[in-house]
């Protein structure tokens, strides 16, 4: 295939992800989803996450590699750029683990609430943790380093980086507009002292320091999530011996999807049986559980990629990272609930204890 045609296909595949991602996240689509399927806007995030995973897998199958080198750094400059790229990826994982509640962000907590049937439903609340004190969408900031700071840049990867980050900015603006409608004056106050993607240090050096916001609840007791580390190590071993050094191909992406499901089921069952509720409130129980699952999902990918890199001198294709992570985070949380449904189905630990004492099923 001619290089120009291959690059056009890659550009369209990259653009398609952004378009579908923004389209299904619009308020109009969420309104219709509520009308036709009685699904609330927060629960719709679960649909968005699953569609994103499927899109990435299919796009990776259709991707047209173009190995024409645009730049290749060597020596110290290459090392500096590689370290910066790795730090961008690590920041991306850190943001989702510590500055966002993955269970709410990706919709698994909402789905579990429907599955377990408690009286209350989870609510998405903002907070000003870490970089979110200065930047409203720091995950979108990380994308620039993740995809541009490659010591060796080929034409297809450059197309990916350029198109993805152009739509990254457009998508950030669209998301910001949606939040303006649902957040009202509270979000307007937050907007005034934060930047969209880059921190407004020139006009608001202290960011949202003086704005009152809810405290995050997903890392209230870090020590309770030690099983998430064990789960992450187990996932890394599963990926290492089962997937190995993954490359772009239809068969490889099918394997990624299957191993993501397998890892999600195994980790979900183990964590569901091993993790005990340490809160009376059902919503807090699910926040704690989804955080443990999120830790496993992220560590599994990070440790696997690092091990393959050390062994072969190159990391696995990053088209596999997000599908593996999304799948374990979402499906793993669901299977953690199914592993011992009685434990998580009750609205509080006190009710569960009472039911257990009386032998209720």
Start-to-end CA distance of the chain, whole Å, equals: 62
What are the domain boundaries of the chain? 3-357
| Residue 361 confidence (pLDDT) | 42
What is the distance, to the nearest Å, from the Cα of residue 259 to the centroid of all Cα atoms in its chain?
Answer: 17
Sequence-ordered list of residues with C-beta below 8 angstroms from that of 340, at least 6 positions apart, any chain: 272, 273
CA distance 264 to 324: 9
Find out whether 248 and 63 touch, Cβ atoms under 8 Å: yes
Q: Provide the sign of the torsion angle of the four alpha carbons 355, 356, 357, 358, taken in this order.
A: positive
CA distance 36 to 96: 31
| Residue 75 confidence (pLDDT) | 92
Give Cα separations from 316 to 95, 227, 298 (angstroms): 22, 26, 15
Find out whether 333 and 269 touch, Cβ atoms under 8 Å: no
| Residue 173 confidence (pLDDT) | 92
Closest CA to 54 of 333, 331, 323, 329: 323
Instruction: Give, for all 361 residues of the chain, the pLDDT tens digit.
Output: 778 899 999 999 999 888 887 787 777 777 777 777 767 676 677 778 788 888 888 888 899 998 899 999 999 999 999 999 999 998 988 888 888 887 777 777 777 776 666 555 666 666 778 888 899 999 999 999 999 999 999 999 999 999 999 999 998 998 898 888 877 888 888 888 999 999 988 888 888 888 888 777 788 888 888 899 999 999 999 999 999 887 888 888 899 889 999 999 999 999 888 887 777 777 788 888 888 999 999 999 999 999 998 999 888 888 888 888 888 888 888 888 877 765 655 444 444 454 455 454 4
Find out whether 178 and 29 touch, Cβ atoms under 8 Å: no
The HSE-up count of residue 157 (CA atoms within 13 Å, CB side) is 21
Q: Provide the sign of the torsion angle of the four alpha carbons 261, 48, 100, 35, taken in this order.
A: negative
């Amino acid at each position: 295939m001619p290089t120009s045609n291959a690059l056009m296909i890659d550009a369209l595949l990259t653009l398609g992800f952004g378009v579908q991602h923004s389209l299904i996240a619009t308020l109009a689509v969420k309104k219709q989803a509520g009308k036709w399927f009685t699904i609330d806007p927060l629960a719709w995030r679960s649909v968005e996450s699953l569609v994103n995973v499927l899109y990435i897998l299919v796009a990776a199958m259709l991707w047209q590699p173009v190995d024409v080198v645009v730049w290749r750094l060597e020596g110290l400059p290459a090392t500096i750029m590689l370290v910066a790229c790795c730090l961008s990826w690590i920041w991306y994982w850190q943001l989702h683990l510590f500055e966002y509640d993955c269970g709410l962000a990706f919709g698994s907590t909402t789905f579990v609430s429907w599955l377990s049937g408690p009286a209350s439903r989870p609510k998405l609340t903002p907070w000003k943790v870490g970089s979110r004190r200065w930047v409203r969408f720091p995950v979108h900031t990380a994308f620039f380093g993740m995809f541009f700071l490659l010591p060796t840049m080929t034409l297809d990867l450059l197309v990916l980086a350029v198109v993805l980050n152009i739509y990254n900015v457009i998508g950030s603006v669209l998301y910001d507009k949606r939040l303006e409608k649902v957040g009202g004056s509270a979000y307007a106050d937050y907007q005034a002292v934060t930047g969209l993607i880059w921190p407004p240090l020139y006009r608001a050096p202290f960011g949202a320091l003086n704005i009152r916001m809810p405290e995050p609840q997903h890392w209230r007791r870090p020590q309770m999530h030690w099983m998430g580390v064990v789960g992450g190590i187990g996932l890394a071993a599963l990926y290492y011996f089962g997937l190995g050094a993954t490359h772009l191909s239809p068969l490889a992406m099918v394997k990624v999807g299957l191993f993501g499901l397998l890892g999600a089921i195994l980790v979900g069952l183990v964590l569901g049986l091993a993790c005990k509720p340490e809160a009376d409130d059902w919503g807090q129980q699910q926040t704690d559980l989804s955080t443990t699952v999120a830790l496993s999902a992220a560590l599994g990918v990070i440790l696997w990629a690092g091990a393959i890199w050390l062994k072969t001198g190159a990391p696995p294709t990053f088209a596999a990272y997000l599908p593996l992570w999304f799948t374990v985070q979402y499906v793993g949380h669901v299977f953690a609930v199914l592993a011992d449904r009685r434990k998580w189905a009750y609205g509080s630990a006190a009710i569960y204890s009472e039911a257990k004492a009386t032998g209720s099923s």
